[in-house]
Structure 1
């Protein structure tokens, strides 16, 4: 694995395992670590400035999330963009967000709704500028607000595992104007939440995640 040019600083001891996992996950999602690339413990420890133990623990979590594959006694590789895995992840993420939105509608405050609207404005602006990273950050913030308001730990855990599988593909779309329809769907979601209409909010949420299906098919080489 070619070690990225910018070495990470030594990570806080108490957050070491989670930080190593999050850094490696981000490197896979943003393409720093490419599909099918071999990843070696010694390269990762040099890059992150940590011991092998948190790196190995992170790789195990990444394997469980479907982001790396490991062959016993051989190599660990970044997982390819597998059609079935991405479609399965899309179905799970869409369903879980629907659950979260239904529960969140009655809990969202005026500040929450304003924050969702602001995130969507930043999302739209990032799309216009072809800034995939800013678009992903704004999209994460927008959808994260109802997830937090729902207060369901199981929802958060499931999304933590499966959303990164989709984000690898979404970066391709969020770097262009192809995702402009999501701005409109976000507006519909915010409007339904403002009206305290859980059914309409759930429909808008589901439609938002369903827009990924054609993109997943193109990115993974075909439909299932």
Structure 2
């Protein structure tokens, strides 16, 4: 099985597990609690696995881009995906503190998780560099529309999340509470990131890179 297939399967695995957790773990309120909270419940190991799978999806796509293409844009995109994958791996091994934890009681492990989660932003930046390659590389041009649409959705969802956080958190002194209904915003962003990885890997395979 090659890197691109691994990337696709890992992305599907992440989304499938996340969907399952919304069914079997009803202690987390998806309207305001982030997905990291699933790692604290009875089925926490599933959320840990999901984070690791998403990290694998980023990593395999990143490695492929670095190895297959020689231009600087592809390599920057690949490196950013690899760095983002590290964030997911760390999130999978270091659980978050409960979202209601006061700042003075946040643990070192919780701080590591929060910092790791922030690396997802590098993946979102990577989508720009990679999408450009679908317009520059002759073999990728036939697939430029699907990757552009997916990248647009990722960025639109991210901007809505940032705007929503800015609006609601300004009313709660920066604390995520039941009065900050941004849980679904974050879920949509991370699911779209997984979808983007699937679409990217699938398009690269269609462009006759299957055996790499």
- Normalised by the length of structure 1, the TM-score is 0.29
More helix as a share of residues: 2
Q: Which has the higher contact order (CA 8 A, sep 6+)?
A: 2
- Normalised by the length of structure 2, the TM-score is 0.30
